[in-house]
Amino acid sequence: MSHITLIRHGQANSGATDEESYDRLSPLGFQQATWLGAHMRDTGQHHMRLYTGTLRRHIETADAMETGLTPIRDARLNELEYFNLAAALRDEQGIPIPTEQTEFTAHLPRVFAAWQNGEIVNVPETFEQFETRVSDALTEIAEGDGPALVVTSGGLISMAMRQHMGLDIRAMANLALAIMNTSQHRLFPVGGIWSPVLFNAVPHLEHPDRHHAQTHV
């Protein structure tokens, strides 16, 4: 059972209003990923395998990190489709999609709860299907040889933490809101089970002249 380090992609197109236009790194996102890769090399972090989702922002982040590893693309590591879930909730229940960041922090937990409770009909996948694909993908990766890097998204990371910390849906949503771009999160086998031993680590962004790069969106 190998340990897994989950990495959220670099800052994407934060002004987007749909899945497609969101899915590309901003110039800062590329810089965050470059800094992370350099930090990992400088500190001698050892990983034998690299996995990413198939989304553009995952691939761009992994490429900018320059790990020297050949990436394995797996669509099961893709993000939940927040924009599509939010649009379905709007169309079916009249709940508007937020236009301000302060509104988003209250909206995401509402979307997650409605999704989990089956209160949104026109969804790209059910909450249970998302939960299963995350569990299946990470279990398979853990069964491989040696430590693995997984470049993915905040929603998937929050689901992984939910599964290994017994979080309710509100806590999962709050966790997702907290996850920073290019942050590291580690699941480590302790006594035959996975334990989260690292969460939201951004040592590559701790220098004062990089604090501006500690972004959530």
pLDDT, one tens digit per residue, over 21-43 is 899 999 999 999 999 999 999 99
Residue 179 has pLDDT above 70, yes or no: yes
Alpha carbon distance 111, 108 (integer Å): 5
Mean pLDDT calculated for residue range 139-144: 94
Alpha carbon distance 54, 111 (integer Å): 24
Q: Is the residue at 111 inside a domain?
A: no
Q: Is the residue at 23 inside a domain?
A: yes
- Listed in sequence order, the DSSP H helices in 54-213 are 56-65, 82-93, 101-116, 127-142, 154-165, 169-178
Q: Cβ(172)–Cβ(159) under 8 Å?
A: yes
Q: Is the residue at 39 inside a domain?
A: yes
| Of the candidates 58, 77, 67, 64, the residue with the CA atom closest to the CA atom of residue 9 | 58
Q: Is the residue at 197 inside a domain?
A: yes
Burial label, 211 (beta-carbon count in 10 A; 0-12, 13-18, 19+): exposed
Lowest mean pLDDT of 95-109, 116-130, 168-182, name the range. 95-109
Determine the straight-line distance between the first and last CA of the chain, rounded to whole angstroms.
33
Domain of residue 135: give its range. 4-80+125-203
Report how many domains make up the chain: 1
Which position has the token pair 């999704």? 115
pLDDT, one tens digit per residue, over 181-195 is 999 999 998 887 888
Mean pLDDT calculated for residue range 2-23: 90
pLDDT, one tens digit per residue, over 62-79 is 999 999 999 999 999 999
State how far Cα 133 lies from the chain centre. 14
Q: Is the residue at 104 inside a domain?
A: no
Residue 110 has pLDDT above 70, yes or no: yes
Alpha carbon distance 188, 195 (integer Å): 5
Residue 80's SS3 state is: coil
Cross-strand partners of 198: 186
Q: Is the residue at 114 inside a domain?
A: no
Provide the residue type at 44 as one letter. G
Q: Is the residue at 163 inside a domain?
A: yes
CATH number at residue 178: 3.40.50.1240
The pTM assigned to this predicted structure is 0.95
Task: Report the pLDDT value the prediction gives residue 62, as an integer from 0 to 100.
Answer: 98
Q: Cβ(48)–Cβ(147) under 8 Å?
A: yes
Q: Is the residue at 178 inside a domain?
A: yes
Alpha carbon distance 167, 98 (integer Å): 25
